[in-house]
Amino acid sequence: MIRTSAARDVEIAALSARDELTSIVRVGMAVGFGVWLYLANNPFPADGSGALKRNLLPYQSVVQDRPLEEQRMFRVLRVSLLEAEAVRSTSGGWPSVAAMAADGIEPFARDPTVKGATYQWRLAHDGRFVNYVGVPAEPAAPAWLVLAQEPDPAAQPEVFVDDEDHARLLDGSILHVSIWSHPDGARVSPRGVLSLPQAGGWIQLYAAEPASAPRMPAQLPLR
């Protein structure tokens, strides 16, 4: 006896306007991240004497100089920042740590196949400053910080610069964004909002060394 399976009608629903917009934002941000990775894997420019140009401040470093585990965490945080920016663009608010974890976004959702320190993440928001801070369970591991600075509504609109220090949302708002590590994770306070991480011993990391003096503005504490 030969059995034939009945044909089934499958309804293909179009993406909602919000989901489609979020997808477009994520693709655009992913392209920009790919450019940063390309720069990170190519030599830095040299001056006439053959010496590498050095434009980093004392509290800044390129991620290639860090251990492999820290390089991986940096890449993961760059992707998670793109995801957070996409939510910020479409919803007007920053996603919680729990929401990012529920969506399977590392490092908020831990990958069980990856060995290394475990982290407790928190979101802190004060005025124009947004922090995603990861404090390690192991005292010897570094702490991590994703810092976003919202634009000042009272200031003149800023001209967008396509580099690692800036991100532009769908409404045209320009954010100052950065990723930091602290070599002594046990000393990092789990409370408060960081607006001047360098004052507390944090190191700002770049995928590639800036070609000119860093454009990140001097940040003033809100209090």
Q: Is residue 90 situated within a structural domain?
A: yes
Asked if 206 and 179 touch (Cβ cutoff 8 Å), the reply is: no
Q: Is residue 214 situated within a structural domain?
A: no
Q: Is residue 172 situated within a structural domain?
A: yes
pLDDT value of residue 193: 92
Chain-centroid distance, C-alpha 79: 6
- Please tell me the distance from the alpha carbon of residue 181 to that of residue 134, in angstroms, as a whole number: 9
User: Residue 127, CB half-sphere, CA atoms under 13 Å: how many?
Assistant: 14
**pLDDT tens track, the chain, 223 positions:** 544 444 445 455 555 545 554 555 454 454 444 444 444 444 444 343 333 335 899 999 999 999 999 999 999 999 999 999 999 999 999 999 999 999 999 999 999 888 889 999 999 999 999 999 999 999 889 999 999 999 998 999 899 999 999 999 999 999 999 999 999 998 888 788 999 999 999 999 999 877 654 444 444 443 3
Domain count, the chain: 1
Tell me phi and psi for residue 91, to 5 degrees.
-110, -20
Q: Is residue 13 situated within a structural domain?
A: no
Q: Is residue 31 situated within a structural domain?
A: no
Cα first-last separation, the chain = 81
Domain, as residue range, for 125: 59-206
Q: Is residue 10 situated within a structural domain?
A: no
Q: Is residue 46 situated within a structural domain?
A: no
pLDDT value of residue 107: 97
Q: What residues form DSSP beta bridges with 206?
A: 62
Q: Is residue 221 situated within a structural domain?
A: no
